[in-house]
Every structure is written in C-alpha cells, then in structure tokens.
Structure 1
Amino acid sequence: MSDPSIAKLLIWVTIALPMPSIATLCQEFIAGADMSHLAFFESKGVVYKDNGQPDDALLIIKRRGINCVRLRIFTSSPEQDCG
C-alpha cells in the first residue's frame, strides 16, 4: 500500500467495524459447578433451598448464574468394593 489515503481508509474501516460490547462478552462467560454428588446427597435427605424455600438444586444454581455443570456417572463393581 503505497497510497497513504488507502491505508488511512482501511484503518478507519477497521475501527468502525461493529465490536461486541462488554455485556455481550460477559453473557458468553461459562460459569460451572461439579454436581456429580447431587444424587448421593439427595438420597441422604439433603434439601436444597433458595430463600428458605425447598427447590431443585440445578434450578437454584442456574438462577445464580451457573450455565454449565459436570455430572460424573459413578459405577461400582464387586472388584471395587473395599468394604
């Protein structure tokens, strides 16, 4: 690019291109939780509450901004039983 006016035009076009806002970038942020033991604790009678009211644990964390969960499936066999 030997013509400085073309270079300036390209710079202005690049600057003027739509850029994602900070709010948009924040909405794409992943916030996660490991919920692998959820079924175990619920089977032991643990009750999850939101503002003092019993509620589904996954719905509670979703309302708090969690948008990704890890659920590990645990299996056992007689060979793994240490007890």
Structure 2
Amino acid sequence: MTDRTITLSASGQQLACKSGHRNLLEVFEHHQVEVEYQCREGYCGSCRMKLVRGTVEYSEKPLAFVAEGDVLPCCCLPVGDIEVEF
C-alpha cells in the first residue's frame, strides 16, 4: 500500500496513512487526533464518522450497522485519499 492522505473536514488538517497502519483509528492515534471509540473490531460503532470523499476497505465486515456515507475507522483503511468529518 502506498501512503494515503486523510483530510479532516473541520480543520483541513491532513494526516498520512502509512503502510504499517492497520486501520484508520491507528492513523488518528499516530497523529494525536482524539476519536471516541470503545473497541477495535467494528462492533460497537462509537467511532462512526462521515466519509465526505473517497473510499475505504474493511478488513472484516463490521458487526455494527454502518449507514451509507459513514465509516468505522476501527476496522477500515482508505483505498485512496479520503476526507472525513467527525
């Protein structure tokens, strides 16, 4: 995987998603961006955020309901550059 860029809608801040990151939640933690979460398995849904632009890929199908336009960063990675809002 090549590096991907995650843009935060509210601030315009751009974060690098490197090949070693296992999910978006790790990217946020690496860049010290606070995101609420309760798990790392796609079950509870508390980390849910809006995907403004781009596409993500899930390592496994999330157990929590994910509405169209939402993502669970605990269990997905960007396919390309993305923009999220939370």
Q: Same-fold call, TM > 0.5?
A: no
Query: TM-score normalised by the shorter chain: which range applies?
Result: under 0.3
Taking structure 1 as the reference length, the TM-score comes to 0.22
Looking at secondary structure, tell me which structure has more strand per residue.
2
- Please report the TM-score for the alignment, with normalisation by the length of structure 2: 0.21
